[in-house]
Amino acid sequence: MTEPRLLAGLAADVPMALADHQAVHGGLPPSDGLLAAVEAAGLRGRGGAAFPTVVKLATAGRGTRPVVVINGAEGEPMSAKDRVLLTRMPHLVLDGALVSAQAIGAREIIVAAPRGMLLGLGSAVRERRGSDPGRVRWRLEGSPDTFVGGEETALLAHLEGRPALPRTRPPLPAQRGLRGRPTLVQNVETLAQVALIARYGPAWFREVGTPDHPGTTLVSLSGAVAQPGVYEVPLGFPIGALAALAGGALEPIRALLVGGYFGAWIGGDGEGLTLDNASLGGFGAAVGAGVVVLLGASSCPVAEVAALADWLSDASAGQCGPCVHGLAALSDLLRRVESGQTVPGDSTRLSRWTAMVRGRGACSHPDGAARMLASASRVFARELAEHARRGHSPSCRIVPTLHLPRADTGAA
């Protein structure tokens, strides 16, 4: 196991104080050469889309009066990594935002996080007063608690006082974002990684991980494991060895959901696969925001998938017809399969509709749902066919693995 980086010095269940943070990592160096270092490190965004971080930095830096937004809206219910960083390692995240702001000439940083974390984050910001180089204004704002509210244009709409709904792009937020200003919206973990690269450099960053997918990543492990939680592993880590980090699997594993509710199902326990996009790409999966759910063999995959399809349909922002109607139709279809009440033509509708909704929304919500459902139809073909014939069986009544909190409406 490699040394922890993001979680270095993690101790008691309290936020790490500034002095302790600096004792672990030293002071924050100046931002000179940050863009070149981030580019050489090959850092990609850790919010899910894996967008090259340097491109966002460079784009926002070309505009006038840019703003930096820390995106702490972790809408994915099975993800907890951003919460861990914001509540335990706040200064690493704030360092990453500060050095990014300095590198692109931004004087304002908005910390957008769930309301319950703002008190702690406010203390961390106050702790830094007087010690931060340069002049930057910090602002704390509550983030939306919806699934799509973490999408960057939805977050910006929320910060502008409008409902947290995605908008059509272009322009990208880095071109025209908050109130028309170029806005660097970065995921919490991405900024923490930037803070490490600023200190230790790109060569150090690449010492772990794969050449195409370097560095470490935080993984939110849940499902049939003894100790669900957030673990730091190098990218390229054997997926079959993840369960051992979390105290071992509680039962044989039927499948993994990798990448969260936007991710893909992979049959079996992941033996032989590694946690990086090259390895996962063959399964239509990606590391995404680092969510891995282990579905035990005693679970009913059809019930899980049908409930998730339902939840994703409810989580639609409700703006684009193909997403609203397509996801609702897919959800109804899965419910018919689950209960053994399919109608003629249903057998071809799943693949027809997952293909039909792809790329048809202003944001990637329909694409993510389609990816998850397409993988489910491959991995759970046998169980889906059984359910379509016979409906519920006793095994379908067990406690669901996927956490599906009651979805609010898209409005913030």
* Binding interface with another protein (CB under 8 A): 167-168, 319-323, 325-326, 329, 352-353, 356, 360-362
DSSP category for residue 29? P
Write down the least CB distance from residue 169 to another protein, Å.
Answer: 11
Residue number with CB closer to another protein (286 or 412):
412
* Phi, psi angle pair for 137, to nearest 5°: -100, 125
Residue number with CB closer to another protein (92 or 362):
362
Sequence letter at residue 359: G
Write down the least CB distance from residue 219 to another protein, Å.
Answer: 33
Q: Are strands 253-258 and 291-296 parallel, antiparallel or unpaired?
A: antiparallel
Greatest distance between any 2 Cα atoms in the chain: 70
Write down the least CB distance from residue 329 to another protein, Å.
Answer: 7
Residue number with CB closer to another protein (136 or 324):
324
Residue number with CB closer to another protein (124 or 164):
164
DSSP category for residue 364? S
Give the integer Cα–Cα distance in Å for 370 and 181. 33
Residue number with CB closer to another protein (107 or 167):
167
Residue number with CB closer to another protein (46 or 349):
349
Give the integer Cα–Cα distance in Å for 141 and 108. 13
Contact 366, 358 (CB under 8 A): yes
Q: Which two tokens stand for residue 304?
A: 């899980």
With both helix axes pointing from N to C terminus, report the angle between 365-379 and 346-357 in degrees, rounded to the nearest 10. 140
DSSP category for residue 397? G
Contact 284, 264 (CB under 8 A): yes
Residue number with CB closer to another protein (59 or 100):
59
Give the integer Cα–Cα distance in Å for 361 and 84. 31
* Phi, psi angle pair for 225, to nearest 5°: -125, 155
Write down the least CB distance from residue 321 to another protein, Å.
Answer: 4
Contact 77, 405 (CB under 8 A): yes
Write down the least CB distance from residue 328 to another protein, Å.
Answer: 9
Q: Which two tokens stand for residue 377?
A: 């139809």
Write down the least CB distance from residue 372 to another protein, Å.
Answer: 20
Write down the least CB distance from residue 324 to another protein, Å.
Answer: 8
User: Which candidate, 190, 198, 240, 241, places its Cα nearest to that of 216?
Assistant: 190
Residue number with CB closer to another protein (233 or 320):
320
Write down the least CB distance from residue 402 to another protein, Å.
Answer: 27
